[in-house]
Amino acid sequence: MSGPVITLFRRDLRLADNPALAAAVATGQPVICLFVLDDETARPFGGASRWWLHHSLVDLDRALRACGGALILRRGATVDVVADVARTTGTTALYLARRYEPWAADQENALKSRLEPEGVSVRRFGGTLLSDPDAMRTGQGGPFKVFTPFYRAVLKAVPPTQPVLAPTTVPAPADLPDGDDLDTWALLPRTPDWAGGLCETWTPGAAGAHDRLDSFVDAALNTYETGRDVPGIDGTSALSPHLHFGEISPRQARARLCFAADRQPETATGAAAVERQLVWRDFAHYLLHHWPTLPDTPFRPEYASFPWYDDPVALKAWQRGHTGFPLVDAGMRQLWHTGWMHNRVRMVVASFLVKHLMIPWQAGEAWFWDTLVDADLANNAANWQWVAGCGADAAPYFRVFNPILQSQKFDPRGVYLRRWLPELAALSDKQIHRPWAVPPLELAEAGITLGKTYPEPIVTHEAGRARALAAFQAWREGAS
Ligand SMILES: Cc1cc2nc3c(=O)[nH]c(=O)nc-3n(C[C@H](O)[C@H](O)[C@H](O)COP(=O)(O)OP(=O)(O)OC[C@H]3O[C@@H](n4cnc5c(N)ncnc54)[C@H](O)[C@@H]3O)c2cc1C
């Protein structure tokens, strides 16, 4: 009898629409389902992601056990661990889903060159994205650098298709290799346990992903186009961590949207708009695949000489939500409490960091990496670079978001601000966006002492904007 097949789970923590798992089961051989916690050859997970990962692995193991399988957990460098499991179990093949982080691509190449000479075939499958980054090329044959033509090309090349169903059985080998006890990985915070807000907000795992998508489709898909910019309502899917960990595939999400649009035509515009966001996700991964330095290095190389500031005090104020700008502070506190932030607010807080404070986008990327439950190398880097003006198809640096106007426009009644900044709740809808402009008597009536109960602005909008534009101008002149 032939030996087992290893399915290596990385960020595809689901049974359904998982081509690598489906192919492994279809061999008829026993399947070893393996997850490796690799802090050696991958960028280590941030704190919030570790919390998510713990719960997602519990869920995946439960789902596999219900099909007769089990999830084997090991820790170490992926290639060494997989080679060891393959050798000790007589494995004949390794199946895995392709990923696009530079380290993941390196792992895939290293697995091939290590295992194949030992008689273990290595097969890579899709499923992480809607489109294959190697297949998408401009008319001239080069990689896309602009989103809209990429978007059109994806829609043309990749029509919606039906996801693959979950296997009903995942036959495990009689002698399962040993694995670690998940608790020994200590992925959950203990002292202090800061994850209370995450527990209240999320249900990691495939069932949680599908429940969230169903609720979004029922409650908000028909208003997504306008609602997606309003941070005070649940106007977006909040699927991003589920997609990041692969608890739901983008094809499954797209199929659900198409189904809704067919059945309820009033949701068709919203469904197309969410599909467009899924293609933004593909685009970020596409950029990372073709430009692997994206997480650290400006996509537009001239920005390497941009005169950023090193300002640890301002960085800390931004991280803690103590800038004195309510929309920025509310966003940073939503992030700290829930591990997630609304997209409109992400753009505002990111712009504030790189423009008003002139702190390098890499510092913001690193903070998001640690605190977001959806921290994703491709999406995070591509979006930070977009805001900083140095990315592909980016907003130019001189376009500076005004955090006061953004707040007035997208949270006019202060719903989002009051949720995350209860200390400002007593201000009127008009005042809450600019507490520093409120007369002292009215501030006192609202129980606010600037500098004590709520910070003074660490920079004024006008001064921050002027400083950023002057630096940009001087840098451009120096560079030309
Ligand atoms: C500075 C900055 C950093 C970001 N960092 C991340 C990150 O680390 N991980 C992450 O998943 N997203 C990141 N985003 C993109 C975006 O903010 C989130 O994907 C979105 O807020 C998730 O909410 P949602 O699931 O409700 O999105 P929806 O509006 O419901 O969109 C559906 C899905 O499309 C994808 N998507 C939406 N917007 C974008 C986008 N701009 N770029 C790429 N994919 C997108 C996500 O997978 C999302 O779940 C970042 C944006 C900014 C401005």
Residues 355-392: pLDDT tens digits?
A: 999 999 999 999 999 999 999 999 999 999 999 999 98
Q: Are residues 81 and 230 in the same domain?
A: no
Is 209 domain-assigned? yes
Is 178 domain-assigned? no
Long-range contacts of residues 21-28, Cβ cutoff 8 Å, at least 24 apart: 21/95, 21/167, 21/170, 22/164, 22/167, 23/95, 23/123, 23/125, 24/93, 24/95, 25/167, 25/169, 25/170, 25/171, 27/93
Is 365 domain-assigned? yes
343 lines ligand 1 (CB under 6 A): yes
Residue nearest to atom 51 of ligand 1 (CA): 383
The one-character DSSP state at 450 is B
Domain with residue 364: its CATH number is 1.10.579.10
346 lines ligand 1 (CB under 6 A): yes
Q: Are residues 231 and 154 in the same domain?
A: yes
Q: What is the mean pLDDT of residues 224-245?
A: 98
Omega of the bond leading into 435 within 30 degrees of 0 (cis): no
Amino acid 480: pLDDT? 61
How long a stretch of residues is the chain? 480
242 lines ligand 1 (CB under 6 A): no
Of ligand 1's listed atoms, the one at least distance from the Cα of 239 is: 25
- CA neighbours within 13 Å on the CB side: how many for 378? 27
Is residue 273's pLDDT more than 60?
yes
Q: Are residues 234 and 366 in the same domain?
A: no
DSSP-derived 3-state class of residue 352: helix
DSSP-derived 3-state class of residue 428: coil
Q: Are residues 379 and 419 in the same domain?
A: yes
Indicate yes or no: pTM above 0.85: yes
Task: Report the C-alpha gap between 291 and 345 in whole angstroms.
Answer: 27
Contact 469, 400 (CB under 8 A): yes
Is residue 479's pLDDT more than 80?
no
Give the pLDDT band of residue 191 (cuts 50, 70, 90).
confident
Task: Report the C-alpha gap between 428 and 50 in whole angstroms.
Answer: 40
Of ligand 1's listed atoms, the one at least distance from the Cα of 372 is: 8
The range of the structural domain enclosing residue 441 comes to 301-479
Count of structural domains, the chain: 3
5-9 and 93-97: which strand pairing?
Answer: parallel
Q: Are residues 340 and 429 in the same domain?
A: yes
Task: Report the C-alpha gap between 214 and 259 in whole angstroms.
Answer: 11
Residue nearest to atom 26 of ligand 1 (CA): 238
Helix segments in 158-223, DSSP class H: 196-201, 206-219
Is 186 domain-assigned? no
Of ligand 1's listed atoms, the one at least distance from the Cα of 374 is: 9
379 lines ligand 1 (CB under 6 A): yes
Residue ending a domain, among 290, 317, 335, is 290
275 lines ligand 1 (CB under 6 A): no
Q: What is the mean pLDDT of residues 379-406?
A: 92
Q: What is the mean pLDDT of residues 270-298?
A: 97
Give the pLDDT band of residue 153 (cuts 50, 70, 90).
very high
Q: Are residues 365 and 434 in the same domain?
A: yes
Is 195 domain-assigned? no
Give the pLDDT band of residue 243 (cuts 50, 70, 90).
very high
Give the pLDDT band of residue 393 (cuts 50, 70, 90).
confident
The one-character DSSP state at 471 is H
Is 442 domain-assigned? yes
Residue nearest to atom 6 of ligand 1 (CA): 380
Q: Pick the residue with more confidence: 208 or 1?
A: 208
Q: Are residues 459 and 345 in the same domain?
A: yes
Is residue 426's pLDDT more than 60?
yes
Residue ending a domain, among 128, 152, 182, is 128
Angstrom distances, CA of residue 412 to CA of 156, 328, 348, 417, 453: 39, 15, 15, 10, 23
Distance 91 CA to ligand 1 centre (A): 38
Distance 389 CA to ligand 1 centre (A): 18
Cβ contacts of 407 within 8 Å, gap of 6 or more: 325, 326, 327, 348, 417, 433
71-75 and 93-97: which strand pairing?
Answer: unpaired
Q: Are residues 140 and 279 in the same domain?
A: yes
Contact 93, 121 (CB under 8 A): yes
Residue nearest to atom 16 of ligand 1 (CA): 343
Q: Are residues 444 and 305 in the same domain?
A: yes
Is 9 domain-assigned? yes
DSSP-derived 3-state class of residue 116: helix
The chain-wide mean pLDDT, for the chain, equals 96
Residue nearest to atom 21 of ligand 1 (CA): 343
376 lines ligand 1 (CB under 6 A): yes
Domain with residue 229: its CATH number is 1.25.40.80
Distance 241 CA to ligand 1 centre (A): 9
Q: Are residues 267 and 349 in the same domain?
A: no
Residue ending a domain, among 234, 261, 290, is 290
pLDDT tens, position by position, 299-356:
999 999 999 999 999 999 999 999 999 999 999 999 999 999 999 999 999 999 999 9
Give me the percent of the chain exceeding a pLDDT of 70.
Answer: 99
Q: Are residues 390 and 253 in the same domain?
A: no
Least confident interval from 60-64, 200-204, 470-474 = 470-474
Q: Are residues 449 and 438 in the same domain?
A: yes
* Alpha carbon of residue 230 to chain centroid: 19
Is residue 444's pLDDT more than 60?
yes
368 lines ligand 1 (CB under 6 A): yes
Give the pLDDT band of residue 394 (cuts 50, 70, 90).
confident
**Residue 461 one-letter amino acid:** H
pLDDT tens, position by position, 121-138:
999 999 999 999 999 999
Is residue 418's pLDDT more than 80?
yes
pLDDT tens, position by position, 37-81:
999 999 999 999 999 999 999 999 999 999 999 999 999 999 999
Using most ligand atoms within 8 A of CB, pick from 383, 399, 410 the residue to mutate for ligand 1: 383
Is residue 1's pLDDT more than 80?
no
Is residue 179's pLDDT more than 60?
yes
**Residue 37 one-letter amino acid:** L
Is 181 domain-assigned? no
Q: What is the mean pLDDT of residues 227-244?
A: 98
Q: What is the mean pLDDT of residues 456-467?
A: 97
